[in-house]
Chains A and B, each alone.
Chain A
Amino acid sequence: MAFELPSLPYAENALEPHIDARTMGIHHGKHHASYTSNLNGAIAGTDLEGKSVDEILGDLDAVPEGIRTAVRNNGGGYANHNLFWQIMGPGGGGAPSGALGDAINSAFGSFDDFKSAFSGAAATRFGSGWAWLAVEGGALRVSSTPNQDTPLMSGNTPILGIDVWEHAYYLNYQNRRPDYIAAFFNVINWAKVAELYAAAS
């Protein structure tokens, strides 16, 4: 059973002006689509077919060595973008409440402290990569990874991620990555992040 590129849960222009329609169109229709087809190409005919991508990424050592890098890169790209589209939405932004809000206050001191830590991790990731809010051993932690690596590869559960590959922002923000990071906070779908947090806790 091949992995399928999920549809965007909103229109390509739904996140304007924070994330432009052209970026969304290429990011989803070209980059995410390539990771998906390259992942399928890599695992075709192996025991990995039929496993979930979370399961595959959680045990890369079990992947045949000849395709391990392809699975890491393209499987990571597949899973990361699946999450990325979900945790954004028109009408997003604001701050989380409920159990997630409490957990963020408990882990970081306040929402502003979380925002500062997350923005710092995203801004200082050199080259291509992601910054994450993940559930690690029951606790919330901010981290970053290079390229398409994900906390899933360390057995942890990302509940929020920002793509800081230049393809995620260059058409609209060029070298101004901090402006993109600030804009991202205006489209975070905290209701979805709270669901993911509840499922991971």
Chain B
Amino acid sequence: MDRNHSLSRREVLKLAGSGLLSAAFSGVSFAAGGEFKLPALPYAEDALEPYIDAATMSLHHGKHHAGYTNKLNAAIEGTDLVGMSIEDILADLEAAPEDIRTAVRNNGGGYANHNLYWQIMSPDGGGEPDGELAEAIERAFGGYAGFKEAFAAAAGGVFGSGWTWLVSDAGALNIETSPNQDTPLMRGATPILGIDVWEHAYYLRYQNRRADYIGAFFNVLNWARVEELYLATL
């Protein structure tokens, strides 16, 4: 088992921070070995250097993604949501009990979004898509250059924390953005590519230069994986 597979309760409490968050978590016990598991990174923390640095990857995966995972498990503990897939939960947030809905939205979104994010990057990434995905991008954006420009502009234009997505609606591609940890899954659509533009995704290396991070992201884009996800939506 990967050492990052799950955080201990002690680590979670340390994450939550010396009592300051206690009000937010009072009455909630953390699920030890909870339902959702933090996936291991599919490559080493330094594998995406120099585009995404190892320190950022480590914190992003081992602290931020781990935090969302643990808080999601804590929120759903003892409810009917335990046992459901994250996609099913997020596609029907109205079904989540009202007192945990915001926690499920934020932490379930954070859990799912980062699961996708690690997959669609790779040390062997970059270049351009081919096959059916390239044809779909051609239809939607007039080609890879048109897609890249539109996607980068959307990601650059998100104000505050959020994500930019390439979404496949039964094969038709669209670019959309969402605030915080919201995802197209919440409207029943399937993101096949996403870039995290929370500052934690790039601040250590790029600080205020979000545009540079977005430019670098294209160098690690795992188009083979994005195409697999695309084909699964047809």
Chain A contacts to B: CB under 8 angstroms: 26, 30-31, 34, 69, 73, 116, 119-120, 123-124, 126-129, 146-148, 165-167, 170-171, 174-179, 181-182
Contacts and interface: CB of A to CB of B under 8 A. Distances in A.
B160 A166 contact: no
Interface residues of B, number: 28
B203 A171 contact: yes
Nearest to B180: A127
Nearest to A126: B106
Nearest to A182: B20
Nearest to B208: A30
A57 to B, nearest CB: 16
27 contacts: A30-B207, A30-B208, A31-B208, A34-B208, A69-B159, A120-B20, A124-B21, A126-B102, A127-B160, A127-B161, A127-B162, A129-B160, A147-B159, A166-B161, A166-B199, A167-B199, A167-B203, A167-B207, A170-B203, A171-B204, A171-B207, A174-B63, A174-B204, A175-B200, A176-B15, A179-B17, A182-B20
Contacts of A124: 21, 24
Given A31-B208, A167-B208, A170-B203, A176 B24 contact: no
Contacts of A127: 160-162, 179-181, 198
Contacts of A179: 17-18
Nearest to A31: B208
Nearest to A122: B20
Contacts of B203: 166-167, 170-171
A134 B171 CA distance: 50
B23 interface: yes
Majority-rule SS of A interface residues: helix
B112 to A, nearest CB: 16
Given A120-B24, A167-B207, A182-B20, 18 more contacts: A30-B208, A120-B21, A123-B24, A126-B102, A126-B181, A127-B162, A127-B181, A148-B159, A166-B198, A166-B203, A170-B204, A171-B203, A175-B15, A176-B15, A177-B17, A178-B16, A178-B20, A178-B21
A146 B199 contact: no
B163 to A, nearest CB: 11
A26 B21 contact: no
Contacts of B17: 123, 176-179
Contacts of B207: 26, 30, 167, 171
B198 A119 contact: no
Contacts of A146: 160, 179
B59 interface: yes
Contacts of B225: none
A-B pairs with the 6 shortest C-beta distances? A178-B17, A166-B199, A127-B161, A128-B160, A178-B20, A147-B160
Contacts of A171: 203-204, 207
A147 B158 CA distance: 11
